């Protein structure tokens, strides 16, 4: 059996899964120290039939690291070491960052020679004397954390590894993040990602220890995993090195949970909350990723993030203009006191569906005198908003199944154009925790290739192999690995055949082979 | 004389306007923008003058970047590179330079000469050699007017320079592109030196200030694309561009591109927002080149076709256009520079592989 826990900003959800079956589920408020919320959830599970001795694995999804960046807390100072000179002269690390977060990370920025070009040639040689100077400055200022980024390191990471090795040899307690381990092509965004990650390392250590302590209190000694933004897992120890990979794992887990609850691998998922609905796309059972630059706390990054569109429709959305206008303003979590059906005085989207007899929530008599045209307009507006949002997320014009999850799923009509079917699965309220519980281990590699020099098959095999070894290193069972995504981006203005090739693979958690639910 | 001082704050407007005038091409100007801001913080504001304000015998040179925008994601631009390129030009050719000018207003190339101007305390000219974005040096109004591109200087990321001499603009285009591919995929060039008099005869004037005005409107976030259209039209009405037309608002229903001969080639189909009706098809070769409603041509290169996000009015370039986006499509008549027989020999639809002649936007439905 597995436990899935999702620590959100408001709720901590927990679920025990036996194979595909939900044994027990629980939704509780997130506590300020997080660990207490998890202990409360575990206590509920334990008291309601879950055998803690039979748990094989615990999977945790958490927003703590995203929130730390957004709120500028728990961040440690970090030295930025970039290898790319003589290119990028004057383009200092942290350029364009908001002042407050730039200040939080300190002013130790070093730009030195090294790195590669798109065609595999050296951009410049690494200069040992420059590295000596960086080391002596770090020593004199007692800086012990650094993010190392070199040009085209996703293509060739040797310069990053070399500097890391020199630093560790000279300063034994040095802690570093190598950018090629965390981001993809796009030097500034990858460097930003590495810097944020490094700044979170000390906090990550405390968070993981708190998780482990809470589980030990309940006698749970099985492997613990944390979910990443791409819907795969990392071992808890891995989070101590890569906390930033948890950014945006909440929506990812909700998409993955929806896939598991319905068995669908290609679908649109609409997670309807109190204020907004998050719309995402399942591709091969995993969230479609955004190809846009993603800002985290005002910092541009190129993390692997799910492509999510948030629209202003939720259970608490305000209704105006005789039902022709719904949202984006909302009573939010005050829905349970302010909506008409809960004895309040605000007309919300939930009141409309209850008045129409489409949902049985609260006191229906409180909305029995709403005019028919208001109800009809309101339902039409809800449908229109959802249909527009779904249409703008669909990969092409073919109808796709739509899966509704979240507390506000009752808003959705029985029929939507662009939807081949509509699914509202049981336990959809804890889809996030289920998504965490069923996640797999992933690996991803990206290279610039030229199909004129290297045949496509050979190039694909090389990149796939690189992705597979990353997945195995992260704890995947190598016999279960399969490719989930191949992305080929031709490069304009370059030679014919020049392509950016990205491959993503997933595999089951190695320790669970044989007794896990996936076959 | 109208002199404007370009500040780092104005660069944000300029790059937003330049993204509009890039007509789908030009790449992401974010890195160039960051670099130019640093340059102006270091050297102070850049002085910009109108083309007429440069004396006829003064010497002006065009500066910009040539290469694959994708490689500059890793091979970062340097804040001082346009300054180095200008210095190398003076050193290698022995010529003097009284002013600098952009060769392409669409995309990041609109920003590159500005830092060189600020650092050398010479003016940057308010204008450019395209009035939009186009893929090749031979398509610049400077080349069309018969200005010889060489002697030119190409500069790589490491500061290596090469003096380029070529007998034709076509030969020059191939030489600088080879140089950039061998040197990491990106190069800076100083080229097309002209006298003030020659420049006045061929430059597309006042496109930098127009781009700043456009950017200001687009960045105001004061309405959807259709709501801002009237204000955008006013900017073009008062300019050397032709008619401004709203072509269509709809939803991207299909989008595919492949690389052919080093270009992103493909087609986007945009279907109506509500109900049924004919779809709009946009043909793409790096830039948006033609717009057809059913069989009917609505606009074609060299006139400008621009796609904005329907809700936010932000310009969308071709690599970011994707299925399901709600967009508004506009067309703007190109400046008369591109409507002469000489110009149409290099920028007419047939030059991009289409099987029809150019019809000016105002003669189309």
pLDDT, tens digit (0-9, with 9 covering 90-100), for A114-132: 999 988 889 999 999 999 9
Average pLDDT value for residue range A237-242: 90
Interchain pair A86, B251: CB under 8 A: no
Does residue B257 share a domain with residue B138?
no
Token pair of B90 as six digits: 């003076």
pLDDT computed for residue A513 by the predictor:
36
> To the nearest whole angstrom, how far is the Cα of A317 from the nearest Cα of chain B?
20
Do A350 and A341 meet the contact criterion of CB atoms below 8 Å apart?
yes
Token pair of A224 as six digits: 């613990």
Q: Quote the percentage of chain A above a pLDDT of 90.
A: 48
Q: Select from B34, B73, B286 the Cβ nearest to the Cβ of A91.
A: B34
Nearest to residue A506, comparing CAs of A197, A269, A287, A184? Answer: A287
Does residue B177 share a domain with residue B263?
no
pLDDT computed for residue A495 by the predictor:
61
Interacting residues of A240 by C-beta distance below 8 A, sequence separation 6+: A201, A204, A205, A208
> To the nearest whole angstrom, how far is the Cα of A117 from the nearest Cα of chain B?
5
Chain B residue with minimum CA distance to A190: B74
Radius of gyration of chain B (CA): 19
Cα A182 to the chain's mean position, in Å? 13
Token pair of B109 as six digits: 């190339």
Chain A residue with minimum CA distance to B324: A392
Greatest Cα pair distance in chain A: 81
Is pLDDT of A101 > 70?
Answer: yes
Chain B residue with minimum CA distance to A153: B74
Chain position carrying tokens 């047939």 = B350
C-alpha separations of A245 from A63, A304, B144, B221, B350 in Å = 11, 8, 52, 32, 49
Interchain pair A117, B326: CB under 8 A: no
Strand bridging mode B152-155 / B161-164? antiparallel
Chain A residue with minimum CA distance to B36: A91
Give chain B's mean pLDDT. Answer: 93
pLDDT computed for residue A517 by the predictor:
34
Chain B residue with minimum CA distance to A497: B259
> To the nearest whole angstrom, how far is the Cα of B254 from the nearest Cα of chain A?
7
Residues of A with a Cβ under 8 Å from any B Cβ are 84, 86-92, 95-96, 115, 117-119, 121, 123-124, 151-152, 185-188, 291-293, 300, 388, 391-397, 490-496, 498, 500
Cβ burial A401-426 (10 Å sphere, 16+ → b, else e): bbbbbbbbbbbbbeebebbeebbebe
Q: Select from A90, A491, A496 the Cβ nearest to the Cβ of B70.
A: A491
Chain A residue with minimum CA distance to B326: A392
* CATH for B312: 2.40.390.10
| CA pair distance A320, A271, nearest whole angstrom | 23
Interchain pair B80, A491: CB under 8 A: no
Is pLDDT of B256 > 60?
Answer: yes
Does residue B229 share a domain with residue B169?
no
Helix and strand element counts for chain A (H, E) = 14, 23
Residues of B in contact with A121 (CB under 8 A): 184
Nearest to residue B47, comparing CAs of B113, B123, B127, B126? Answer: B123
Nearest to residue A87, comparing CAs of B144, B159, B271? Answer: B159
> To the nearest whole angstrom, how far is the Cα of A268 from the nearest Cα of chain B?
13
Which ranges constitute the DSSP H helices of B147-293? 169-182, 196-202, 207-219, 225-237
Residues of A in contact with B30 (CB under 8 A): 293, 300
Query: Domain for residue B175, yes or no?
Result: yes
pLDDT computed for residue A57 by the predictor:
87
Residues of A in contact with B67 (CB under 8 A): 493
Average pLDDT value for residue range A257-265: 91
Q: Select from B77, B157, B324 the Cβ nearest to the Cβ of A392.
A: B324
Give the other-Cβ count within 10 Å of B2's Cβ. Answer: 11
Query: Domain for residue B31, yes or no?
Result: yes
Q: Which of B70, B74, B181, B314 to mutate to test the interface with A (most CBs of A within 10 A)?
A: B74
Interchain pair A492, B70: CB under 8 A: yes
Is pLDDT of A92 > 80?
Answer: yes
Residues of B in contact with A188 (CB under 8 A): 31, 34, 76
Does residue B157 share a domain with residue B10?
yes
Is pLDDT of B1 > 70?
Answer: no
Peptide bond into A164 cis (omega under 30): no
Interchain pair A89, B81: CB under 8 A: yes
Chain A residue with minimum CA distance to B25: A492
pLDDT computed for residue A519 by the predictor:
30
Does residue B227 share a domain with residue B200?
no
Query: Domain for residue B326, yes or no?
Result: yes
| CA pair distance B85, B97, nearest whole angstrom | 12
> To the nearest whole angstrom, how far is the Cα of B125 from the nearest Cα of chain A?
25
Nearest to residue B92, comparing CAs of B154, B21, B158, B6? Answer: B154
Does residue B181 share a domain with residue B41?
yes
Nearest to residue A427, comparing CAs of A8, A16, A30, A7? Answer: A16
Helix (H), strand (E) at residue A84: strand A79-85
Strand bridging mode A232-235 / A440-450? parallel
Q: Is A225 exposed, middle or buried (0-12, 13-18, 19+ CB in 10 A)?
A: buried
Does residue B275 share a domain with residue B137?
no
Average pLDDT value for residue range B157-186: 94
A-B contacts (CB, under 8 Å): 135
Does pTM top 0.90 for this prediction?
Answer: no
Chain position carrying tokens 């959802």 = A386
Cα B204 to the chain's mean position, in Å? 11
Do A243 and A67 meet the contact criterion of CB atoms below 8 Å apart?
no
Note the pLDDT tens digit of each residue in A457-478. 899 999 999 999 988 887 788 8
pLDDT computed for residue B68 by the predictor:
77
Do A159 and A116 meet the contact criterion of CB atoms below 8 Å apart?
yes
Interchain pair A89, B78: CB under 8 A: yes
Helix (H), strand (E) at residue A507: strand A498-507
Average pLDDT value for residue range A386-408: 85
The residue that leads in pLDDT, A142 or B115, is B115
Query: Domain for residue B217, yes or no?
Result: no
Q: Which of A89, A92, A308 to mutate to test the interface with B (most CBs of B within 10 A)?
A: A89
| CA pair distance B18, B8, nearest whole angstrom | 15
pLDDT band for B263, please (50, 70, 90 cuts): low
Q: What angle do CA A427, A428, A433 make, to 5 degrees?
A: 80
Give the other-Cβ count within 10 Å of B322's Cβ. Answer: 15
* CATH for B159: 3.40.1610.10
Give the ipTM.
0.88
> To the nearest whole angstrom, how far is the Cα of A94 from the nearest Cα of chain B?
11
Pick the last residue of a domain from B205, B240, B271.
Answer: B205
Residues of B in contact with A491 (CB under 8 A): 68, 70-71, 259
Q: Which of B8, B37, B73 to mutate to test the interface with A (most CBs of A within 10 A)?
A: B73
Token pair of A55 as six digits: 């748990």
Using DSSP's 3-state secondary structure scheme, residue A187 falls into helix
> To the nearest whole angstrom, how far is the Cα of B170 from the nearest Cα of chain A?
16
Do A385 and A326 meet the contact criterion of CB atoms below 8 Å apart?
yes
Q: Select from A91, A115, A300 the Cβ nearest to the Cβ of B78.
A: A91
Q: Select from B80, B263, B326 the Cβ nearest to the Cβ of A492.
A: B263
| CA pair distance A459, A481, nearest whole angstrom | 19
Range of the domain at B302: 223-363
Do B203 and B131 meet the contact criterion of CB atoms below 8 Å apart?
no
Residues of B in contact with A300 (CB under 8 A): 30
- Could you write out the DSSP letters of every residue in B115-184? HHHHHHT-PEESEESSSS--S-GGGSHHHHTT----SEEEE-TTS-EEEE--SSHHHHHHHHHHHHHHTT
Residues of A in contact with B185 (CB under 8 A): 117-119, 494
Lowest mean pLDDT: which of A80-89, A358-367, B145-154? A358-367
Question: Of how many residues is chain B composed?
Answer: 365
Peptide bond into A421 cis (omega under 30): no
Note the pLDDT tens digit of each residue in A405-457. 987 888 999 889 889 999 988 888 888 899 888 888 888 888 878 888 888 88
pLDDT computed for residue B151 by the predictor:
97
Pick the last residue of a domain from B176, B205, B234.
Answer: B205
Query: Domain for residue B210, yes or no?
Result: no
Which ranges constitute the DSSP H helices of A359-427? 372-393
pLDDT computed for residue A518 by the predictor:
34
pLDDT computed for residue A56 by the predictor:
86
Pick the last residue of a domain from B205, B231, B256.
Answer: B205
pLDDT computed for residue A291 by the predictor:
65
Does residue B353 share a domain with residue B314?
yes
Q: Select from A292, A388, A496 the Cβ nearest to the Cβ of B262.
A: A496
The residue that leads in pLDDT, A518 or A337, is A337
Is pLDDT of B358 > 60?
Answer: yes
Q: Select from B78, B263, B323 the Cβ nearest to the Cβ of A90.
A: B78
Query: Domain for residue B213, yes or no?
Result: no
DSSP state of B106: S
Does residue B268 share a domain with residue B190?
no
Chain B residue with minimum CA distance to A94: B34
The residue that leads in pLDDT, B263 or A297, is A297
Chain A residue with minimum CA distance to B264: A492
Do A441 and A507 meet the contact criterion of CB atoms below 8 Å apart?
yes
Is pLDDT of B216 > 50?
Answer: yes
Lowest mean pLDDT: which of A240-254, A300-314, B30-44? A300-314
| CA pair distance B29, B4, nearest whole angstrom | 22
Q: Select from A90, A394, A395 the Cβ nearest to the Cβ of B79.
A: A90
Residues of B in contact with A157 (CB under 8 A): none
C-alpha separations of A239 from A200, A227, A231, A253, B76 in Å = 10, 9, 15, 17, 30
Using DSSP's 3-state secondary structure scheme, residue A8 falls into coil
Give the other-Cβ count within 10 Å of B4's Cβ. Answer: 18
pLDDT computed for residue A516 by the predictor:
34
pLDDT computed for residue A492 by the predictor:
55
Residues of A in contact with B74 (CB under 8 A): 84, 115, 118, 151-152, 185-187
Note the pLDDT tens digit of each residue in A43-72. 999 999 888 888 988 999 988 898 889 888
| CA pair distance B360, B339, nearest whole angstrom | 8
What is the number of structural domains in chain B?
2
Residues of B in contact with A91 (CB under 8 A): 31, 34-35, 38, 76-79
Radius of gyration of chain A (CA): 25
Interchain pair A119, B68: CB under 8 A: no
| CA pair distance A267, A389, nearest whole angstrom | 14
pLDDT band for B45, please (50, 70, 90 cuts): very high
Q: Which of A312, A394, A493 to mutate to test the interface with B (most CBs of B within 10 A)?
A: A493
From its phi and psi, is residue A307 left (phi > 0), alpha (psi between -120 and 50) or beta?
beta
Does residue B181 share a domain with residue B249?
no
Query: Domain for residue B331, yes or no?
Result: yes
Do A16 and A50 meet the contact criterion of CB atoms below 8 Å apart?
yes
Nearest to residue B246, comparing CAs of B306, B335, B176? Answer: B306
Note the pLDDT tens digit of each residue in A464-518. 999 999 888 877 888 889 888 887 776 655 566 677 788 889 888 776 433 333 3
Do B300 and B350 meet the contact criterion of CB atoms below 8 Å apart?
no
Cβ burial B5-15 (10 Å sphere, 16+ → b, else e): ebeeebbbbbb
Q: What angle do CA A393, A399, A404 make, to 5 degrees?
A: 65
Interchain pair B74, A397: CB under 8 A: no
Note the pLDDT tens digit of each residue in B314-331. 899 887 787 778 899 999
Does residue B300 share a domain with residue B193?
no
pLDDT band for A238, please (50, 70, 90 cuts): confident
Interchain pair A151, B78: CB under 8 A: no
Does residue B285 share a domain with residue B183?
no
Query: Domain for residue B50, yes or no?
Result: yes
| CA pair distance B309, B315, nearest whole angstrom | 6
Do A182 and A194 meet the contact criterion of CB atoms below 8 Å apart?
yes
Nearest to residue B244, comparing CAs of B187, B306, B189? Answer: B306
Give the other-Cβ count within 10 Å of A219's Cβ. Answer: 10
> To the nearest whole angstrom, how far is the Cα of B38 from the nearest Cα of chain A?
7
């Amino acid at each position: 059996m597995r436990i899935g826990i999702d620590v959100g900003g408001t709720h901590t959800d927990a679920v025990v899964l036996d194979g595909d079956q939900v044994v027990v589920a629980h939704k509780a408020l997130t506590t300020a120290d997080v660990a207490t919320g998890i202990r409360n959830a575990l206590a509920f599970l334990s008291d309601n039939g879950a055998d803690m001795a039979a748990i094989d694995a615990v999977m945790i999804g958490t927003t703590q690291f995203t929130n730390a960046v957004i709120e500028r807390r728990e961040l440690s100072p970090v030295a930025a070491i970039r290898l790319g000179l003589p290119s990028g002269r004057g383009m200092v690390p942290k350029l364009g960052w908001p002042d407050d977060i730039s200040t939080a990370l300190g002013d130790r920025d070093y730009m030195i020679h090294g790195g590669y070009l798109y065609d595999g040639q050296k951009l410049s040689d690494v200069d040992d004397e420059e590295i000596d100077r960086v080391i002596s400055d770090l020593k004199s200022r007692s800086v012990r954390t650094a993010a190392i980024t070199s040009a085209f390191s996703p293509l060739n990471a040797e310069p990053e590894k070399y500097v890391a090795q020199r630093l560790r040899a000279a300063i034994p307690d040095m802690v570093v993040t190598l950018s090629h381990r965390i981001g993809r092509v796009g030097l500034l965004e990858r460097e930003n990602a590495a810097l944020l990650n490094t700044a979170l390392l000390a906090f990550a250590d405390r968070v993981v220890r708190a998780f482990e302590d809470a589980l030990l209190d309940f006698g749970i000694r099985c492997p613990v995993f944390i979910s990443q933004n791409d819907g795969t897992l990392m071992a808890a120890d891995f989070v101590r090195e890569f906390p930033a990979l948890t950014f945006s794992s909440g929506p990812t887990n909700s998409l993955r949970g929806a896939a598991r609850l319905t068995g669908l691998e290609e679908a649109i998922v609409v997670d309807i909350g109190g204020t907004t609905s998050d719309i995402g796309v399942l591709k091969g059972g995993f969230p479609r990723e955004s190809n846009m630059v993603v800002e985290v706390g005002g910092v541009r990054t190129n993390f692997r993030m799910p492509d999510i569109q948030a629209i202003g429709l939720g259970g608490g959305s305000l209704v105006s203009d005789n039902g022709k206008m719904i949202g984006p303003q909302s009573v939010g979590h005050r829905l349970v006191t302010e909506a008409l059906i809960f004895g309040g005085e605000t007309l919300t989207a939930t009141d409309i569906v209850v008045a129409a007899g489409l949902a049985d929530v609260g006191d229906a008599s409180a909305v029995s005198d709403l005019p028919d045209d208001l109800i009809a307009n309101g339902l039409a507006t809800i449908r229109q908003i959802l249909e527009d949002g779904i249409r703008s997320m669909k990969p092409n014009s073919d109808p796709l199944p739509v899966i509704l999850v979240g507390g506000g799923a009752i808003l959705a009509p029985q029929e939507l154009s662009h939807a081949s079917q509509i699914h509202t699965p049981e336990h959809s309220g804890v889809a996030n925790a289920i998504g965490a519980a069923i996640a797999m281990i992933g690996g991803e590699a990206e290279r610039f290739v030229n199909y004129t020099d290297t045949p496509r098959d050979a190039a694909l095999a090389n990149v796939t192999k690189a992705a597979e070894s990353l997945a195995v290193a992260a704890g995947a069972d190598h016999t279960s690995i399969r490719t989930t995504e191949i992305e080929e981006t031709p490069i304009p203005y370059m030679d014919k055949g020049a392509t950016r090739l990205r491959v993503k693979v997933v595999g089951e958690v190695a320790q669970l082979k044989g007794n896990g639910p996936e076959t | 004389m109208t002199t404007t001082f370009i500040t780092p704050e104005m660069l944000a407007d300029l790059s937003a306007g330049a993204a509009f005038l890039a007509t789908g091409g030009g790449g992401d100007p974010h890195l160039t923008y960051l670099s130019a801001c640093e340059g102006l913080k270091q050297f102070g504001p850049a002085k910009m003058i109108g083309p007429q304000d440069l004396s006829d015998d003064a010497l002006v040179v065009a500066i910009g970047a040539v290469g694959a925008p994708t490689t500059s994601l890793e091979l970062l631009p340097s804040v001082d590179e346009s300054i180095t390129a200008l210095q190398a030009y003076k050193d290698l050719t022995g010529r003097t330079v009284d002013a600098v000018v952009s060769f392409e207003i669409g995309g990041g190339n609109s920003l590159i000469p500005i830092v060189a101007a600020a650092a050398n305390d010479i003016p940057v000219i308010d204008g450019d050699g395209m009035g939009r974005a186009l893929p090749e040096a031979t398509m610049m109004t400077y080349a069309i007017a018969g200005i010889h591109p060489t002697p030119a200087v190409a500069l790589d990321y490491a500061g290596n320079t090469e003096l380029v001499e070529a007998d034709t603009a076509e030969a020059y285009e191939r030489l600088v592109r080879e140089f950039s591919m061998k040197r990491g995929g990106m190069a800076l060039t100083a080229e097309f030196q002209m006298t003030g008099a020659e420049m006045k005869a061929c430059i597309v004037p006042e496109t930098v200030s127009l781009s700043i005005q456009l950017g200001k409107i687009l960045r105001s976030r004061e309405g959807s694309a259709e709501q801002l259209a009237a204000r955008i039209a006013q900017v073009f009405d008062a300019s050397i561009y032709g008619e401004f037309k709203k072509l269509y608002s709809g939803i991207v229903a299909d989008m595919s591109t492949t690389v052919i001969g080093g270009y992103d080639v493909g087609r986007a189909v945009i279907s109506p927002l509500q109900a049924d009706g004919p779809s709009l098809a946009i043909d793409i070769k790096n830039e948006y080149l033609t717009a057809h409603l059913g069989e009917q041509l609505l606009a074609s290169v060299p006139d400008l076709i621009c796609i904005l996000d329907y809700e936010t009015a932000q310009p969308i370039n071709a690599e970011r256009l994707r299925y399901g986006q709600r967009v508004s499509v506009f067309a703007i008549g190109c400046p008369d520079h591109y409507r002469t027989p000489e110009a149409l020999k290099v920028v007419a639809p047939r030059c991009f592989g289409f099987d029809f002649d150019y019809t000016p936007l105002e003669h189309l439905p």
